[in-house]
Structure 1
Amino acid sequence: MKEPKKLVLLITYDNWGYNQYIADALQDKSYDVMHIDFHSFKYKYPGIAHKTLNFFTKNLGIINLKHVYYNEVILSKLNDIKSIDTAIYIKADFLSKQTIEAINAKSKKSVLIISDSINRYPKTKNILSLFDKVFSFEKKDCKKYNLSFKTNFIYKTADTIQTKFKYKVFNISSYDNRFPIIKKIAETLYTMNVKSKIIIFSKKENTEPYLEFSKSPLTISEINNFLDESEIMLDVSRSRQQGLSFRVFESLGLRKKLITTNKDIVNYDFYNPENILVIEDIENITIPEIFINTPYREVPKNILHKYLIENWVEDLVN
């Protein structure tokens, strides 16, 4: 008699769509995967009074009606589920301790993945003890809170190195405290006559010739098209961020050079100064033309192997 597939529950706030790659990789390994993406939940305030009240209560740290709704819907989706082999959470700081405990009571194993600094999302500290294993992208958090270190993953690969491109440098970012840095780098590339595609999600108006503002998010498919059309990727890390972003792993998988502000990247096994340019001083940006114009150097396959999504998911379920 054929054994039933093991059930993996993946609970994420998948605002960019990258976590679906985790679900797909697990399904490819013959797990039965239930992916609950609570970013897709649509909450409607009962009235303007509730919306106004929620504005004050969430900022005071009392209650967030949207988060209450997320918890209720998630639990309702699991009413008929009796047993879960592994429950994997990403962005669990949105969830209450009661919700996590109720789900974990049905789960043989619980795993939390923290993809950002705990300083940025301090509520995460309150739930660390609820999980059997906690992975973090941030080395300093792993040391401070005794967590297991894990990087981001490669979800898209290229079989060959491209030679023809529409753009030299590509970046896509939200409008946040990184914007002044992105703007400086974009301006530097512009003065070097380097053709770039640098997109910022913002409702603001843009007057600079070296930036594009988009009022609505792009799909992963649209982003992937720009990745394919670009020779070099630009990665600007958040303030005090040490963990590596998806831009880094997209560049690895697609065999593209990278310009980054993340200084810790030099400590990784795939680092090669011929492929990766680290901007050390944002006030004095230097981008050598030899870096821009020389070809990409292959990274050994045995190094790339562990970052591929199909291998990356292994220690989540084993």
Structure 2
Amino acid sequence: MKLEGKRILFIAPAFFGYEQKIADKMTELGAKVDYFDERSVTSSYERALLKINPQIFHKKTLKYYKQIIEKVSESNYDFVFVIKCEMLPIQVITKMKDMFRDATFCLYLYDSLENIKGITNKLDYFDRVLSFDTEDSSNDSRIIFRPLFFTDDYKKELIQKEEYEFDVSFIGTIHSDRYRVIKEIKNLADKNQYNYYFYCYLQSKFMYYFYKLTKREFSGVKKEDFEFIKIQSTQIAEIIDKTRVVLDIQHPRQTGLTMRTIEMIGMNKKLITTNQSIKEYDFYKPENIAVIDRNAVKIPDGFLELQYKKIDEHIYMKYSLENWINVVLGVESDNYKK
């Protein structure tokens, strides 16, 4: 129990309940964890504006973090662990570094540098910076490459089924060109009489109307085609368990693997993905993973009928949440190899 008795200040955005899973696992590993949402805004409308310009909420954010500092001022932390750092201001980071001089400051990025405004100016304030993005870690010597994880909800024994409720499923947030790819997959599924489940999440109705005005693929769609309430990870795991193959569509400006991709390792589940870089990873097997061109969408003939081929156990466990936490905090080796 490498974290036994350690005090951790954990600051992360709410993202589909994963922040609580991380906090709970650190507690299970023996740490005392104080968790706070990294974002000072909570409404759907504010979160939508945040994506456009985080500086809109600068004054509100400073007031929010002043309250957090007051709550934790008497604590003595071993780690200050931040995820994404989209809204945490530099002046607050420096204040925390002055308050918690014995703490190791760790930052994990589950988004590419290009997609987080102002993040490169904050990296030097952390003792450890890790990212899921291979290009960012290759191009910036301050960043350690470390893929994401699967939680215990997604840890499943390999069971080969003959029948599934869904042949293909997708659950995720709509951004970039994701909906265009989804529409093409739907058309292929209808043509081949595949059963499918698609949960297309938008942060707010404001985002729906914004996309209606700015995205060609939103022509002719209705609000009813989208969901505006986040689905919990336990529900996601249940749906995926009923699915033969899961669809993953990474952001076109990302090379890192999405959370959904790593979760499919945990569930021993087949995957269709647009991420070409997946072929470089140690768990890649063509029987399990079909890589498609997002600009010429096609499901390979016979892929759905192939049985899943189990990966080596030591590779499987490398992507567990426990291993991820220990590596990010530096209590285990961070020498990750693909």
TM-score (norm 1): 0.86
Report the equivalent of 1:201: 201
Of stretches 226-235 and 252-261 in structure 1, the one that deviates more from structure 2 is 226-235
Report the equivalent of 1:92: 85
Indicate which of 262, 287, 290 corresponds to 1:249.
262
Distance 1:40 1:231 in 2: 39
Distance 2:248 2:112 in 1: 17
1:136 and 2:131 correspond:
yes
Name the SS of the counterpart of 2:94 in structure 1. helix
Structure 1 stretches of 5 or more lacking a match? 44-50
Indicate which of 145, 149, 158 corresponds to 1:160.
158
1:234 and 2:234 correspond:
no
Indicate which of 61, 66, 72 corresponds to 2:66.
72
Report the equivalent of 1:47: none
Pairs within 5 Å for 1:46-195:
59=53, 61=55, 64-81=58-75, 83-105=76-98, 106=100, 107-146=102-141, 147-155=143-151, 156-163=154-161, 164-177=163-176, 178-195=178-195
Greater RCO (CA < 8 Å, at least 6 residues apart): 2
Shift in Å at residue 42 of structure 1? 5.0
Distance 2:145 2:60 in 1: 31
Report the equivalent of 1:308: 320
TM-score (norm 2): 0.81
Shift in Å at residue 40 of structure 1? 8.4
1:294 and 2:290 correspond:
no
| CA shift in 2, pair 1:108/1:38, >3 Å | closer
Q: Is the 8 A contact 1:197 1:212 kept in 2?
A: no
| CA shift in 2, pair 1:7/1:154, >3 Å | same
1:224 and 2:217 correspond:
no
- Letter paired with 1:103: M
Q: Kindly tell me the number of residue pairs found equivalent between the two proteins.
A: 301
Name the SS of the counterpart of 2:103 in structure 1. strand
| CA shift in 2, pair 1:208/1:257, >3 Å | farther
Shift in Å at residue 212 of structure 1? 4.6
Of stretches 258-267 and 26-35 in structure 1, the one that deviates more from structure 2 is 26-35
Shift in Å at residue 194 of structure 1? 1.2
- Letter paired with 2:144: S
Distance 1:253 1:63 in 2: 38
CA deviations over 1:131-178 (Å, ceiling 9, x no partner): 001001111111222110010002121023251421111111223222
CA deviations over 1:50-106 (Å, ceiling 9, x no partner): x9xxx79x849475344334323322321221x100111002121111211222231
Shift in Å at residue 31 of structure 1? 1.4
Structure 2 stretches of 5 or more lacking a match? 210-217, 332-338
Q: Is the 8 A contact 2:290 2:300 kept in 1?
A: no
- Letter paired with 1:6: K
CA deviations over 1:212-264 (Å, ceiling 9, x no partner): 52232222222222122212110001122100001111111011100000000
- Letter paired with 1:224: A
Q: Is the 8 A contact 1:12 1:89 kept in 2?
A: yes
RMSD over equivalenced CA pairs, Å: 2.7
Matched-pair identity in %: 29
Shift in Å at residue 7 of structure 1? 0.4
Distance 1:62 1:286 in 2: 42
| CA shift in 2, pair 1:93/1:301, >3 Å | same
Of stretches 72-81 and 107-116 in structure 1, the one that deviates more from structure 2 is 72-81
Report the equivalent of 2:212: none
Of stretches 251-260 and 218-227 in structure 1, the one that deviates more from structure 2 is 218-227
Of stretches 256-265 and 291-300 in structure 1, the one that deviates more from structure 2 is 291-300
